[in-house]
């Protein structure tokens, strides 16, 4: 998703993080994929890939019978110093997923010249 210059601030990026989390919690994988894409989809349908990754998190969580310490869901925006990879920012979204599974969803903002783009990078088990 292309961002305008006034959409790269912490408040706006946090709102995008909240939107992504809400869509994940609702199981609205198609809307999430259409809005943000999915970097780790590879040759899979992005919506199906997101759903598979979320289900894999829950399965791993259950298999390890992890005893999660209480954690506070959070949205954190972190900016990168100028770099060769064109990474501008990351939005780290930690939330309680299905079956109390702690989930980390990451949105990355990429700079391509003066243009900025945001996309869903990864859905994984939160540490």
pLDDT at res. 68 = 61
pLDDT at res. 67 = 63
- Asked whether 118 and 104 are in contact (CB, 8 A), the reply is no
For residue 53, the enclosing domain spans 2-125
- CATH number of the domain enclosing 105: 3.10.450
- The 3 state secondary structure assigned to 53-82 is HHHHHHHHHHHCCCCCCCCCCEEEEEECCC
pLDDT at res. 58 = 93
Alpha carbon of 109 to those of 16, 78, 81, 121: distances in Å?
11, 10, 13, 9
Number of domains the chain is built from: 1
pLDDT at res. 66 = 63
pLDDT digits (tens, 9 = 90+) for 68-99: 666 789 999 999 998 999 999 999 999 999 98
pLDDT at res. 18 = 98
pLDDT along the chain (127 residues), means of 10: 94 98 97 97 96 95 75 93 94 94 96 94 93
pLDDT at res. 36 = 97
Structure tokens at 94: 């930690």
């Amino acid at each position: 998703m292309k961002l305008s210059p006034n959409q790269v601030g912490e408040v706006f990026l946090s709102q995008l993080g909240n939107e992504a989390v809400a869509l994940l919690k609702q199981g609205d994988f198609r809307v999430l994929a259409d809005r943000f894409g999915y970097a780790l989809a590879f040759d899979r349908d992005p919506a199906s890939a997101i759903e598979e990754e979320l289900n894999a998190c829950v399965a791993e969580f259950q298999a390890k019978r992890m005893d999660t310490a209480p954690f506070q869901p959070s949205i954190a925006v972190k900016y990168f110093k100028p770099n060769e990879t064109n990474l501008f920012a990351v939005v780290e979204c930690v939330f309680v997923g299905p079956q109390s599974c702690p989930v980390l969803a990451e949105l990355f903002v990429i700079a391509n010249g003066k243009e900025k783009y945001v996309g869903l990078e990864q859905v994984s088990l939160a540490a």
